[in-house]
């Protein structure tokens, strides 16, 4: 069956105490909204409709950055979940298929769960996602008779007997799109909050003789985020799950609790990740690499056999070929490091290409920025760059060449050449002693004057 997603992302999130719309607060490097959209993508939706409200322009930008085909509509008044879903109706007016309602602040619904809901819809008119709550608190309750879902009752409208039920409503719903909007047309706001509850569609459907059922999932999938404390808890839950998955797939995490991962982090088997490593968005590490302690990686690719760190930083555009060595206090940005090359100590390599089996000495800097424009440095194969070399881009060093330590290279270096660019050393006998005596006398006069 064709599928459309309706993702509710209109809430302000007052308890977040933030100018940023609630659904744009990040978990594991991506906005909560992106997590929800990525989960729904498992159903291969033909359309994804995001219902924005507070901070609609920012929400629209984030949604379209993740999925340029997404449709963003706006809920200008907050009148409840049914009202929010109804804002998607014009975007799905001609859609013939299943609609799944998700929430931008409930980021962890698993793809397998959504698949089970889609399967259940084959023999039901409405499918609701529920969970057994360890603390039902103020969740809505699912009222079942056997496998049939009779109705959903909000906590504030529930009787004491209904509040004793522990099967709770996640808010996630699946139904044929035309039926969903038809049922919402009959939803009223005669309740304690005077809002239009999406949950009321179950009772309306049952009154029409239609069928409804519930699919259940683990409670952690339904975790909603309403405060900074919730956000931290959600991020911790993601990290625990992601670390466990990596170790199950053959990655060694020496101190798992100290490794921070992003939603899109990819790490191959037999890679070793030492303590206190941060993976920002867009990182792929191939099999058999080693990421040493206290390193930070973002927007980069590390090939097989690579060694990074300790205390290294790989920034966006860093591409490391097989068996590359990036050592302590080295920063690499928008640079391609070819097979077997080494940048082992205290260097900055930006906007550059380093050839196969080249060695970059300690303290080397590719001077890539002139205050306005960025410029490129090209270093060939088997090049030896002496320690403390400044490569003033744009500049090229040919295959097999060498630079002397302390050189400032401003012109291209021919293959196999030795480039030296130092000011002559001048020595003045006895001058150091005279200078020290003069400075000490000056200091003494200043102290007497004070």
Collapsed DSSP state (helix, strand, coil) of residue 120: helix
Output the pLDDT for position 12: 84
Instruction: Name which residue leads in pLDDT, 167 or 135.
Output: 167
pLDDT digits (tens, 9 = 90+) for 3-34: 999 999 998 888 999 999 999 999 999 999 99
345 is catalytic: yes
**Residue 425's pLDDT band (boundaries 50, 70, 90)?**
confident
> Which member of 25, 66, 296, 345 is catalytic?
345
Query: 107 falls in which pLDDT band (50, 70, 90)?
Result: very high
Residue 1's pLDDT is: 82
Provide the pLDDT for residue 270.
98
d(CA 196, CA 203): 13
Average pLDDT estimate for 197-222: 94
Kindly list the domain boundaries of the chain, sorted by start residue: 3-222, 248-419
Contact between 203 and 110 under an 8 Å Cβ cutoff? The reply is: no
Q: Which CATH superfamily is domain 248-419 in?
A: Hexapeptide repeat proteins (2.160.10.10)
Q: What is the model's pLDDT at position 138?
A: 82
Q: What pLDDT, in 10s, does the model give residues 380-415?
A: 999 999 999 999 999 999 999 999 999 999 999 999
Report helix, strand or coil for 193: coil
Tens-place pLDDT, residues 223-274: 999 999 999 999 999 999 999 999 999 999 999 999 999 999 999 999 999 9
pLDDT tops 80 at residue 192: no
- pLDDT one-digit tens code per residue, 330-360: 999 999 999 999 999 999 999 999 999 999 9
How many CA atoms does the CB half-sphere of 268 hold within 13 Å?
13
Q: How confident is the model at residue 191 (pLDDT cuts 50, 70, 90)?
A: confident
| pLDDT given at position 61 | 98
User: In which band, very low, low, confident or very high, does the pLDDT at 99 lie, cut at 50, 70 and 90?
Assistant: very high
Beta bridge partners of 93: none
Per-residue tokens: 404: 């002397």
Burial class (CB in 10 A: 0-12, 13-18, 19+), 443: exposed
pLDDT tens column, 42-57: 999 999 999 999 999 9
Place of tokens 């001077």: 367
Closest residue by Cα to residue 29 from 107, 137, 129: 107
Sign of CA dihedral 7, 9, 11, 17: positive
For all residues of the chain together, what is the average pLDDT? Answer: 95
Q: How many Å is the Cα radius of gyration of the chain? A: 30
How far is the C-alpha of 293 from the C-alpha of 332, rounded, in Å? 17
pLDDT at residue 154 in the model: 83
Pairing of strands 359-360, 331-337: unpaired
Q: How high is the pLDDT of residue 10?
A: 94
For residue 119, pLDDT beyond 90: yes
Report how far apart, in Å, the C-alpha atoms of 306 and of each of 46, 352, 371 are.
40, 18, 33
Report the percentage of the chain scoring pLDDT > 70.
100
Q: How confident is residue 36, by pLDDT bands cut at 50, 70 and 90?
A: very high
Contact 275, 258 (CB under 8 A): yes
Distance from C-alpha of 269 to C-alpha of 115, rounded to nearest angstrom: 28
* Residue 275 confidence (pLDDT) above 80: yes
H helices, E strands: number in the chain = 9, 35
Report how far residue 53's alpha carbon sits from residue 23's, in angstroms, rounded to the nearest whole number. 11
Q: Give the pLDDT score at 190.
A: 83
**For helices 32-40 and 56-66, angle between their N-to-C axes, nearest 10 degrees:** 40
Q: Which CATH superfamily is domain 3-222 in?
A: Spore Coat Polysaccharide Biosynthesis Protein SpsA; Chain A (3.90.550.10)
CA atoms of 161 and 144, how far apart (whole Å): 13
Q: What is the pLDDT of residue 273?
A: 98
The terminus-to-terminus CA distance of the chain in angstroms comes to: 88
Element (H, E) at 132: strand 126-132
357, 380 Cβ separation under 8 angstroms: no
Distances (CA, A) of 294 to 27, 96, 287, 354: 21, 52, 20, 24
- What confidence score (pLDDT) does residue 408 get? 97
Please tell me the distance from the alpha carbon of residue 103 to that of residue 154, in angstroms, as a whole number: 17
Instruction: Compute CA distances 230 → 13, 71, 233, whole Å.
Output: 12, 28, 5
Cα dist from 17 to 30, 54, 357, whole Å: 19, 13, 52
Cis status of the peptide bond prior to 244, with omega within 30 of 0: no
Confidence at residue 330, expressed as pLDDT on a 0 to 100 scale: 98
The predicted model scores a pTM of: 0.89
Max Cα distance, the chain (Å): 106
């Amino acid at each position: 069956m064709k599928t459309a997603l309706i993702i509710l992302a209109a809430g302000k999130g007052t308890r977040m105490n933030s100018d940023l719309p609630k659904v744009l607060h990040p978990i594991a490097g991506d906005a909560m909204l992106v997590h929800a959209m990525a989960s729904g993508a498992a159903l291969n939706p033909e359309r994804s409709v995001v219902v924005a409200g507070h901070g609609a322009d920012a929400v629209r930008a984030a949604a379209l950055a993740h999925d340029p085909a997404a449709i963003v509509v706006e809920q200008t008044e907050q009148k409840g979940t049914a009202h929010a879903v109804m804002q998607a109706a014009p975007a799905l007016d001609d859609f013939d298929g299943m609609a799944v309602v998700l929430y931008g602040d409930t980021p962890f619904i698993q793809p397998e769960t959504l698949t089970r809901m889609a399967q259940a819809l084959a023999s039901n008119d409405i499918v609701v996602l529920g969970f057994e709550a360890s603390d039902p608190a103020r969740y809505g309750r699912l009222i079942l008779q056997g496998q049939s879902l009779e109705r959903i009752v909000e906590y504030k409208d529930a009787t004491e007997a209904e509040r004793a039920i522990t099967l709770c409503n996640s808010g996630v719903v699946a139904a044929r799109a035309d039926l969903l909007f038809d049922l919402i047309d009959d939803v009223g706001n005669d309740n304690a909050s005077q809002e239009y509850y999406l949950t009321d569609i179950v009772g309306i459907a049952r009154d029409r003789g239609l069928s409804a059922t519930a699919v259940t999932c683990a409670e952690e999938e339904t975790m909603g985020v309403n405060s900074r404390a919730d956000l931290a808890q959600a991020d911790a839950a993601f990290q625990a799950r992601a670390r466990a998955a990596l170790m199950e797939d053959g990655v060694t995490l020496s101190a798992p609790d100290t490794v921070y991962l992003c939603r899109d982090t990819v790490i191959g088997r037999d890679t070793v990740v030492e303590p206190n490593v941060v993976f920002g968005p867009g990182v792929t590490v191939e099999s058999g690499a080693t990421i040493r302690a206290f390193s930070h990686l973002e927007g980069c690719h590390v090939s097989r056999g690579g060694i990074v760190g300790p205390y290294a930083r790989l920034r966006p555009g860093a591409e490391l070929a097989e068996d590359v060595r990036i050592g302590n206090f080295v920063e690499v940005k928008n640079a391609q490091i070819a097979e077997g090359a080494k940048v082992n100590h205290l260097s900055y390599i930006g906007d550059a290409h380093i050839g196969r089996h080249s060695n970059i000495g300690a303290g080397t800097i590719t001077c890539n920025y002139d205050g306005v424009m960025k410029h490129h440095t090209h270093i060939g194969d088997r090049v030896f760059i002496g320690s403390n070399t400044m490569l003033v881009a744009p500049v090229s060093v040919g295959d097999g060449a060498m630079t002397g330590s302390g050189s400032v290279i401003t012109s291209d270096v021919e293959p196999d050449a030795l480039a030296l660019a130092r000011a002559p050393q001048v020595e003045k006998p006895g001058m150091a002693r005279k200078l020290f005596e003069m400075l000490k006398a000056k200091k003494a006069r200043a102290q007497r004057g004070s």
